[in-house]
Amino acid sequence: AKFHGFELRSETGAAPQGVRRRDAVLRVAGSDLGLPHSSLHYQIKPTCYQTMLARLALLPALAAAACAGKQVRVGTFGDTNPEALVVMSDWLNTNKVANECWTFYRQPSGGLSIAKLDSGDLDMALLGSTPYAAAAARRGRLKAVSVAHLKGSSQALVTRARFNEPKDLAPNGTAKATIATPRTSTTHYIALAVIANARMDLTDVNLVFMSPNEIMAAWDAGTIDGACAWGTAMQHMLNNPWGGSAAADDKGRQMVSASTVAEWDYRTGNVVAASDDFIANHADLVEYLVAAFERTRHDYRINSLTSDKWADDSDYNEVVARFATLSDTPTSQEKTDTYELLARFEYLSVEDQLKADKIDLPKMTQDSAYFFYEQKVLAEDPSGADQAPYYVANFDKTYLNSVKSAGLSLLSEAAWETVNAPIQEEAAGDGDKCPTAVTYTVTTSGTTFNDGSSEPNAYAAGADCIWTVTPSTSTRYVNIEITKLMSEQPVDGLEVYDKDGDLLAAFTGRLTSTVTLPQIRSSVAGAVTVRWSTDNYDENAIGELEDVGFEATASAGMSAPNTGCAAGTSGASCEYDYCLGVVDEASATLANTIRSQAAGTSAYAPNSRCGWRITSTTAHVELKFTELAIENGFDFVKIYEGATAPTGFSLTAPAAEPKLLYAATGSTLPPKLVFAAPVFVTFESDGLGNTAVKSDGTPDSNGGFDLKYRSLSSSSDIRANGICDGDWTSPIKNCALDHCTGDAVRAGVHSHGSFSSSSGKSAADATDYLAKTTCRWFFEVPDGGLAGLSFRAPVWDVEASGTLTSTTDAVEIYQQGDDGAPSGDAVATLKGGDDPADWDFDFSATSGKFVAVFASDLNNPVPKKGFDLVYAGKYGSADAGANGGFCLCDFGGNCAWPCDEEAPACGGTCHVPTSKDEAEIDLGLLYGLVFGLFVPLLCVIGLAFARYRRKIQGKLKGERAELKKFKDSIVGMRVVTKAVAPAALPPPPGTARWYWQESAPRLHTHANLKPPHWVPYDASTSAALEESFQKGWETILIGTAPRQYKIYPRRMKQVNEATGFERELLREATAARQAADVESGAPRPPDVDPDEPCMVLRVGSIVQIARQREDGWAFGSLTME
């Protein structure tokens, strides 16, 4: 606001609780300042047509209110970046395009922001390049519009100082280290890159997912050994010792930085992204934000090196520090940290962002997505040239080109140096946490209640509030109408439960006026329970504050909810086109249907949580998927045994979780399933990608699922004995499934047995076992003298961790606890890649009861068949066969475990072994074989050999004569047995081979690698490099543009001339022969011409002597070196 001749400042006054507004711009019209009546005193000073700043508390008139125009929500981090000036100065709200309102929400990680962009909770956001890559691979409805920065050294793996290198994190007589990181973030990517580059896998390190705030708390508590983090969290770990320890080796130490990982070709940065809807409808606002952000970065690039505008004691630096710390008065150390952290980032100019040789964001995105796929973060393969155009199109350069054309100016206005924006915070104390959570008795007139916060404050963090709403008349139905819901998805939200504790509805996120929520009404008369829960993170909105939290009205009515809603619809009057809560499905002989959303609706709802209890008056229920197109690996339809609702679908968690029978994800229709009735079916989705991605990489326009069910009393599909896998009791009752699922139990005590990842057949016939599947086999062996277990795998094709992949696929064996569930640590682990596929494990068993668990991860980059496993107990000093044993003849082979009781099945006679591979021998049979067969055979062989020997001797006599003639025809042949050089010559030099370091994602493209990551140069280039090395040259150029490289032989570096990207070199020298091994020849005889060349003799060379002198010298030539 421009004043004519006045500067207005407040001398005293405080902001309302929960809001901090510093250096606020005061807007006035004419001479009416619009000031409220209060005890504030104002000092007015003459000025001259300048933009005036009012240092006063937030006025009541400035409290959060509905925006007159477009409400723009932007996700940001607590990073120390130049664009913090845009946020804290409130520049966008002071200089609007039209009548829009700008609000910045601080996000815990980019992995959560991508879901908010896709679902509409955010319009634009700063994202790490890897969350953006994950969103792009999952076909999220968003695009990158600029590159905010490259990470440089702003992120790192920080650990306790006792760990010197990544391999120290893996167990070596001690427990493996616990490393934390926000999921799907750039630091998650860095953590995986460090693990992969160290040739470890995900089983070597305990990788846990935490927010930055949780990381700091866990470091202080000593419950993690390190973290991949950024900004405040990283600096906190470096500044504060682990667990408060005074030990030197418990100080925080940066082990690997983002810049080091970038040298391995794992490049990371931040992008600015916008939702597809916001781009389509508000392109001008997209460009406006991009231009504002780019202007601050432009100023930092120019002035941070040439002036003190960004010095650690500058106003700009303090504004960024206040943004990062949310403190009115950052400490001197915090300002210094801010200054240093700003310098750790690499900010690209607008021009460089548009140049592929400076940053190829589409390729970087696709490569990052593929690495996430290999490391089990993504389910679908994003690689392939056919998908490359999609990644190119997903980087919308329109706005960068516009900014480039308009040009950028340096920051000059005083407003940039001040904090003008209000910050939304929770009111002081816990007065806003569940203050109205009581038991209400409601009538038809209704009662309104809320979360307890009042605008413009933030709602309370760490809340778990419960309201019990009872109708005034017990036969009436409670109706809940949600009139406001503004929360952070996916954790903060509202749930409604019926009087029996079943979930009626669950909502989360920012549901604005454009979203109409249904009325929630219990299907049974009586009380309902409303629950409001939040985590401990506060988004701390900055800018135009919104009214957050929830508000609802409860009333009682005579009408029950409509029970005739079409499949996939919900709400008291079937007005909602998506499933909600738990529904009791009636038993029916004819097929009924359950759906994720109404027929004709293209995508299911984000953050869905729906359940169906399917009961039956008959013994079995049949389930048949007729449609299935849900996001692979992220959204699931699960089928549980019995009628008990699993955790998340009832007000109180069940005493014991129901057994999972089957899980479906992706778009491959499973066969018809038959289970013992009743069953409980659930459907859950996250906030991103609410449909399947087809094989061509495009989203399926008909997302969701359709599942038909019916009761069965008898069927040809149901086996009479109810089993599918031999004597294992399988959860599948019709044997149609070709892969294992759920829990299988083998009754009784058996000294041996077998099980398979394929149901009803051998894994040899399988194509690829399913991802995200858990199978368990419960078995018991005799426990008398039990000393361990032995396993053999006739088929063992399980994914193994390697150079490019890190998998957790394995079969783990546990002892059963008192409740029958796995207890304690695994007593045996069978991993993919083990060859031969046989294992013996010795341990002290507490009983003979065990459970084998096979849990597959998110994908198999290469199809894997699975396994057939045979097991047996080990007793005493003998191995698997000593207590009954068994034979492997059924699987081929020659009775690797000889046996007695199953010998007929093997087609022969086997005996209990005295050791694992040594059977007892029948001596009578042995003598008969020796004297009856072998002795006569030896006689025949002896006679034949005598005749053959006489014939050969005749041939040799003639060949010796020929050889004598050849030998006599040569003056002299000699083989060198000692290296000799003339006295005037040095020993012969060694040779060298040169290599360059390849990045991990591309190792598979080379066939001649030197482990772990070295690619050899061709012979001519290697020779040229060795020559330059020997001659001490500083540089040498190889290749031709655009692939020309400058080599620094002494520094062992290769630099791409176009991009400046560096790679390490390796020189592998074969050591020169030591002087002690080379005999220096005698001086040349005086009668020999000085120009006559002298030979250097290497061991193994052959020389032909033409003339030998009496003094020991000879003339000759080298025939073979």
DSSP3 helix / strand / coil % (the chain, rounded to 5): 25, 30, 50
What is the mean pLDDT of the segment spanning 518-522? Answer: 90
Q: What is the pLDDT of residue 952?
A: 55
Roughly how many angstroms between the first and final C-alpha of the chain, as a whole number?
90
Cα–Cα nearest to 882, from 925, 911, 861, 857: 911
Q: Residue 1009 class from Cβ within 10 Å (0-12 exposed, 13-18 middle, 19+ buried)?
A: middle
Question: Is the backbone peptide bond immediately before 1042 cis, with ω within 30 degrees of 0?
Answer: yes
pLDDT tens per residue across span 747-782: 999 888 889 999 878 899 899 998 889 999 999 999
Question: Bridge partners of 812?
Answer: 829, 853
Q: Report the share of the chain in percent with pLDDT over 90.
A: 45
Residue 873 near residue 789, CB atoms below 8 Å: yes
pLDDT tens per residue across span 995-1019: 988 876 566 667 677 888 888 888 8
Pairwise CA distance, residues 496 & 529, whole Å? 6
pLDDT of 970 strictly over 80: no
| DSSP three-state, residue 8 | strand
How many angstroms separate the Cα of 167 from the Cα of each of 163, 258, 272, 776, 834?
9, 18, 35, 32, 21
Map tokens 């080990």 to a residue: 874
pLDDT tens per residue across span 1026-1083: 888 888 888 899 887 667 888 988 888 888 776 667 788 999 876 554 444 445 566 7
Q: What is the pLDDT of residue 14?
A: 43
Confidence label for 925 from pLDDT (cuts 50, 70 and 90): very low
Instruction: List the alpha helices (DSSP H) in 328-460.
Output: 332-344, 350-353, 361-374, 388-393, 398-406
pLDDT tens per residue across span 676-733: 899 999 999 999 988 888 777 788 888 999 999 998 876 666 766 556 777 888 888 8
Spacing of C-alpha 1024 from chain mean position: 43
How many angstroms separate the Cα of 847 from the Cα of each of 557, 752, 753?
59, 15, 17
Pairwise CA distance, residues 909 & 900, whole Å? 7
Q: Following CA atoms 229, 230, 231, 235 in sequence, which dihedral angle do they give, to the nearest 10 degrees? A: 50
To 10 degrees, what angle do helices 332-344 and 283-306 make? 110
| HSE-CB of 947 using CA atoms within 13 angstroms | 4
218 DSSP assignment = H
How many angstroms separate the Cα of 224 from the Cα of each of 183, 216, 234, 764?
16, 10, 14, 42
Burial 183-216 (b: 16+ CB within 10 A, else e): bbbbbbbbbbbbbbbbbbbbbbbbbbebbbbbbb
Residue 268 near residue 256, CB atoms below 8 Å: no
Q: What is the pLDDT of residue 697?
A: 77
Q: What is the pLDDT of residue 971?
A: 44
Pairwise CA distance, residues 1000 & 190, whole Å? 13
What is the mean pLDDT of the segment spanning 248-254? Answer: 93
pLDDT of 988 strictly over 60: no
| DSSP three-state, residue 676 | strand
Which tokens in the block code for residue 253? Answer: 């130490």
pLDDT tens per residue across span 615-661: 887 888 999 999 999 999 999 999 999 999 999 999 999 999 999 99
Its sign, for the CA torsion 403, 409, 413, 417, is positive
Cα–Cα nearest to 543, from 423, 459, 415: 423
Which tokens in the block code for residue 135? Answer: 């969103």
Residue 1067 near residue 992, CB atoms below 8 Å: yes
pLDDT of 986 strictly over 50: no
Q: What is the pLDDT of residue 973?
A: 65
| DSSP three-state, residue 912 | coil
pLDDT tens per residue across span 489-500: 999 999 999 999
Provide the residue type at 19 as one letter. Answer: V
Pairwise CA distance, residues 1040 & 850, whole Å? 64
Pairwise CA distance, residues 879 & 790, whole Å? 7
| HSE-CB of 86 using CA atoms within 13 angstroms | 22
Q: What is the pLDDT of residue 278?
A: 97
Mean pLDDT score of the chain: 81
* Residues contacting residue 97 through CB under 8 Å, at least 6 positions apart: 284, 285, 288
Q: What is the pLDDT of residue 43?
A: 30
pLDDT of 4 strictly over 50: no
pLDDT tens per residue across span 54-85: 222 222 222 345 788 999 999 999 889 999 99
Strands, sheet with 503-508, edge to edge from the N-terminal-most edge strand: 439-442, 464-471, 528-533, 493-497, 503-508
**Cα angle vertex 666, ends 661, 667, to 5°?**
105
What is the mean pLDDT of the segment spanning 460-478? Answer: 91
Residue 377 near residue 858, CB atoms below 8 Å: yes
What is the mean pLDDT of the segment spanning 812-838? Answer: 87
Spacing of C-alpha 775 from chain mean position: 23
Residue 5 near residue 46, CB atoms below 8 Å: yes
Cα–Cα nearest to 286, from 135, 86, 72, 83: 72
pLDDT of 903 strictly over 50: no
Q: What is the pLDDT of residue 236?
A: 93
pLDDT tens per residue across span 310-326: 998 999 999 999 999 99
Q: Report the share of the chain in percent with pLDDT over 70.
A: 78
Confidence label for 937 from pLDDT (cuts 50, 70 and 90): low
Phi, psi of 67 (to 5 degrees): -75, 140
pLDDT of 286 strictly over 80: yes
What is the mean pLDDT of the segment spanning 528-536? Answer: 94
Spacing of C-alpha 601 from chain mean position: 31
Lowest-pLDDT choice from 38-42, 256-260, 426-430, 657-661: 38-42
Pairwise CA distance, residues 1112 & 492, whole Å? 97
Q: What is the pLDDT of residue 883?
A: 37
Q: What is the pLDDT of residue 706?
A: 95
**Strand-strand pairing, 774-780 and 786-797:** unpaired
What is the mean pLDDT of the segment spanning 264-291? Answer: 95
Q: What is the pLDDT of residue 910?
A: 36
